[in-house]
Amino acid sequence: MPKLDRYLLGDFVQSFLATLIVLLTVSLGGVLVDVLGEIADGGLPAKLLLSQLGLQLLVYLPLVLPLALMLGLMLSVVRLYRDSEMAVINAVGVGPRRLLRPLLLVAVPVVVVVSLCSLWLGPWAQRTGARLIEEANRSLIVAGLEAGRFTSLPNGGGIVYIDGMSEDGAGLKGVFLQREREGRIDVLTAREGALQLEGERNRYLQLRDGHRIEGPLDGTLDFRLMRYAFNDVALPDRAQVRDSDDPALLPTPKLLRDPRPAATAEFHARLAPPMLALAFALLTLPLARSSPRQQRYGRLMLGFLAYLVSVNLVFIGSRMLADGELPGLLGLWWLTLPLLALAVWLYARDGRMPRPKGAAA
């Protein structure tokens, strides 16, 4: 490999990795806020924090990697112009087309990774996350109820104490539950119980052979004592359970055989990120080109806005495909193919001198 290619390749890779680390840090913070919100609402067990955080980050990688690639390459090219290195490179006869080799050496592996994440890893992460949540909702251990410890239920659901628990976490013994509802206190005790699921979101503690004491909180003596054989106590709603035929959870080959408009929209939404990554990688040189007295980093914002508009169009087009407002054959080709063609055309004509008027063809 020539020295110039090695130099440019190292500069491109270093700038891309630095930009990727910053964007991943910002994305990780946003995903963490969403996951913590689910845990605070009682829809997600706290012990699944790290696993859900990692899986959700895989889902967002097809959107983060193309942006990191474009901004990293643009920052590197802008620095070459700022330090007058690009002028020296052009002076020795190296034009934009000659820079295609080191640029593609960085862009092609990233596009391959984006394709893997968008077509395979992302759907796998969503399926795995949904399965872990479903299994957690059926296990009292993962749900946060531990033997020998008082546990506060989310959303004011009360306080639970358990003497013992079965090995699989589905059954429990020696239950104490205290909660407040509508100005009254409710205390339940049971010899044993189990976790029961009803519908998609409802969870119940099925208590057996116990007592219930109910009374006011204002200090009066209006108390009632009851003994029961069975008593179902509702727990806070669990996370939304997704259907097994949800297009977002299906592997990509199955989407090709699914005639539903939602499946077609999901397929094109997975196919768009790799094409966007390649298109914006080719756009970096035309967008980053600047004259000596021009603002150095002004075009970075232009590239960032162009990427945001393209991603929003992907979301809007996917929604229109799922709703049947766009034909399935059209898909998102109306966005990805013209953008890719524009990127190739701008790269091909970048740096060309205008032909003088009257020159021979």
**For position 257, what pLDDT does the model report?**
87
Report, as an integer, the average pLDDT of 107-111.
94
* Model confidence at 108: pLDDT above 90: yes
pLDDT tens figures, 258-267: 889 999 999 9
* Model confidence at 353: pLDDT above 60: no
* Model confidence at 356: pLDDT above 50: no
Report which of 105, 129, 104, 68 is spatially closest to residue 273, judged by C-alpha positions: 68
One-letter identity of residue 79: R
Mean pLDDT of the chain: 82
Task: Note the maximum CA span of the chain.
Answer: 106
SS3 of the chain: the string is CCHHHHHHHHHHHHHHHHHHHHHHHHHHHHHHHHHHHHHHCCCCCHHHHHHHHHHHHHHHHHHHHHHHHHHHHHHHHHHHHHCCHHHHHHHCCCCHHHHHHHHHHHHHHHHHHHHHHHHHHHHHHHHHHHHHHHHHHCCCCCCCCCECCEEEEHHHCEEEEEEEECCCCCEEEEEEEEEEECCEEEEEEEEEEEEEEECCCEEEEEEEEEEEEEEECCCCCCCEEEEEEEEEEEECCCCCCCCCCCHHHCCHHHHHCCCCHHHHHHHHHHHHHHHHHHHHHHCHHHHHCCCCCCCCCHHHHHHHHHHHHHHHHHHHHHHHHHCCCCCCCCCCHHHHHHHHHHHHHHHHHCCCCCCCCCCCC
Among 25-29, 290-294, 355-359, top mean pLDDT goes to 25-29
Banded model confidence at residue 142, pLDDT cuts 50, 70, 90 = very low
Report, as an integer, the average pLDDT of 86-115.
84
**For position 334, what pLDDT does the model report?**
92
**For position 237, what pLDDT does the model report?**
55
Determine which of 69-78, 133-142, 164-173, 181-190 has the lowest per-residue pLDDT on average. 133-142
Which pTM was predicted? 0.74
* Model confidence at 52: pLDDT above 50: yes
pLDDT tens figures, 297-328: 677 888 889 999 999 999 999 999 999 888 88
* Model confidence at 279: pLDDT above 90: yes
pLDDT tens figures, 196-244: 766 555 667 788 888 888 888 887 888 888 898 888 877 655 555 566 6
**For position 158, what pLDDT does the model report?**
76
One-letter identity of residue 325: E
Percent of the chain surpassing pLDDT 90: 28
Banded model confidence at residue 81, pLDDT cuts 50, 70, 90 = confident
Of 167 and 72, more confident: 72
